[in-house]
């Protein structure tokens, strides 16, 4: 039996790519697509046609609960907005569907709530701040490098429509590097003549966020050592880069108990 998938944010940039990827992948199909803003302001639209993959017989819907009950998906995929994702997931998990989540901006408290919701409803949830396999490798290499070169800063670069800063990937990279490093030289006093010039700070690791048209998602992790620097950089050139990771998560989420965070859990 194919895995039946409901896509939330189906008219968005990532949602359209997900509709296309699921339609083209073996063993899964889109059974419902939800995007209230789009559905309420457009004539009935086929999600496949909008995604450029041809008609799939699934109209973009405005009501998530009605779509969940009508289509009975095995898995939902959420690429929406930081301020709506938790509301969507409460509905999805309460209906017993498994969830794959790419929307960024989830807090530790949100993740704890998702874990509880999975337990209460005997279902599962997979969250990844970055579904690009190269970005996951960048984070793993950065974690290794931080053990030997503990002085590190991160520059992340995204398109100017991105709503949250810093990126989920930058936060995750900083967390991994902070946990791995020993003995960084952070004990100096600095004066910012322009507030914010030194970026955000996660456990002593500075994060700088660039927002410009032209970028999709890029990140450089820069390590400084005696007489040398090391830069580990990843560039997402196209949103299709996220799709092998999303399809992998859709295939696996139902067999993972509770909450799982990070694509590396499926790769390494
Ligand atoms: P986008 O183009 O703005 O798409 C988001 C879509 O969700 C919009 O069509 C939006 O409609 C819709 N939406 C809003 N509220 C909704 C709701 N309650 N239910 C269903 N749909 C709703 O943004 P995007 O570039 O696709 O990015 C979406 C999210 O994915 C962002 O948080 C981004 O940071 C994240 N992202 C994650 C990864 C990863 O690998 N994890 C990669 C890329 C992006 P309106 O425009 O009407 O609000």
Percentage above 70 pLDDT, the chain: 99
Ligand 1 binding pocket includes 9 (Cβ within 6 Å): yes
Does residue 48's CB lie within 6 angstroms of at least one atom of ligand 1?
no
Among the atoms of ligand 1, which is closest to the Cα of residue 38?
A: 47
Give the residue, by CA position, lying nearest to ligand 1 atom 11: 37
Atom of ligand 1 nearest to the CA of 81: 32
Predicted TM-score (pTM) of the model is 0.89
Q: What's the CA gap between 136 and 248, in Å, rounded?
A: 14
The pLDDT value given to residue 189:
81
Long-range contacts of 37-44 (CB under 8 A, 24+ apart): 37/11, 38/10, 38/11, 39/11
Could you give the CA distance from residue 259 to residue 34 in angstroms, rounded to a whole number?
Answer: 23
Catalytic center residues: 158, 162
From the DSSP assignment, how many helices (H) and strands (E) are in the chain?
10, 12
Q: Ligand 1 pocket test: which of 8, 65, 80, 263 has the largest number of ligand atoms within 8 Å of its C-beta?
A: 80
In angstroms, the CA 6 to CA 32 distance is 5
Say if ligand 1 is within 6 A of residue 241 CB.
no
Whether 218 contacts 236, CB under 8 Å: yes
Q: What are 15-46's pLDDT values in tens digits?
A: 999 999 999 999 999 999 999 999 999 999 99
Which residue owns the Cα nearest ligand 1 atom 1?
12
Ligand 1 in reach of 166 Cβ (< 6 A): no
The string of pLDDT tens digits covering residues 177-199 is: 999 998 777 667 888 999 999 99
Relative to the CA of 167, which ligand 1 atom is closest?
Answer: 34
Radius of gyration (C-alpha) of the chain in whole angstroms: 20
Q: What is the pLDDT of residue 60?
A: 98
Whether 156 has a pLDDT exceeding 80, the answer reads yes
Q: What is the DSSP letter of 63?
A: -
Q: Rounded to the nearest whole angstrom, what is the distance from the C-alpha of residue 81 to the centroid of ligand 1?
A: 5
pLDDT, tens digit, 9 for 90 and up, residues 91-116: 999 999 999 999 988 999 999 999 99
CA-proximal residue: ligand 1, atom 31 (nearest): 103
pLDDT more than 90, % of the chain: 93
Q: Is the CB of 247 under 6 A from ligand 1?
A: no
Ligand 1 atom at shortest distance from the alpha carbon of 34:
20
Model pLDDT for residues 245-258, shown as the tens digit of each residue: 999 999 999 999 99
Q: Residue 73 — φ and ψ, nearest 5°?
A: -70, 150
């Amino acid at each position: 039996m194919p895995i039946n998938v409901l896509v939330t944010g189906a008219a968005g940039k990532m949602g359209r790519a997900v509709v296309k990827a699921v339609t083209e992948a073996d063993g899964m199909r889109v059974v419902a697509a939800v995007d209230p803003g789009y559905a309420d302001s457009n004539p009935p639209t086929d999600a496949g046609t909008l995604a450029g993959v041809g008609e799939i017989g699934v109209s973009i819907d405005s009501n998530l609960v009605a779509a969940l009950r009508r289509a009975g998906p095995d898995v939902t995929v959420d690429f929406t907005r930081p301020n709506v994702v938790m509301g969507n997931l409460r509905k999805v998990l309460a209906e017993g569907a498994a969830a794959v989540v790419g929307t960024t901006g989830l807090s530790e408290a949100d993740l704890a709530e998702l874990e509880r919701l999975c337990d209460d409803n005997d279902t599962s949830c997979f969250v990844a701040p970055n579904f690009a396999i190269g970005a996951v490798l960048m984070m793993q290499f950065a974690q290794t490098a931080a053990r030997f070169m503990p002085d590190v800063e991160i520059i992340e670069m995204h398109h100017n429509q991105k709503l949250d800063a810093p990126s989920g990937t930058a936060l995750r990279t900083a967390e991994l590097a902070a946990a791995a490093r020993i003995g960084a030289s952070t004990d100096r006093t600095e004066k910012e003549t322009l507030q914010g010039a030194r970026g955000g700070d996660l456990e002593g690791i500075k994060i700088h966020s660039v927002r410009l048209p032209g970028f999709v998602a890029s990140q450089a992790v820069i390590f400084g050592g005696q007489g040398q620097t090391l830069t580990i950089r990843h560039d997402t050139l196209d949103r299709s880069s996220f799709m092998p990771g999303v399809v992998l998560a859709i295939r696996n989420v139902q067999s993972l108990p509770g909450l799982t965070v990070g694509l590396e859990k499926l790769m390494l």
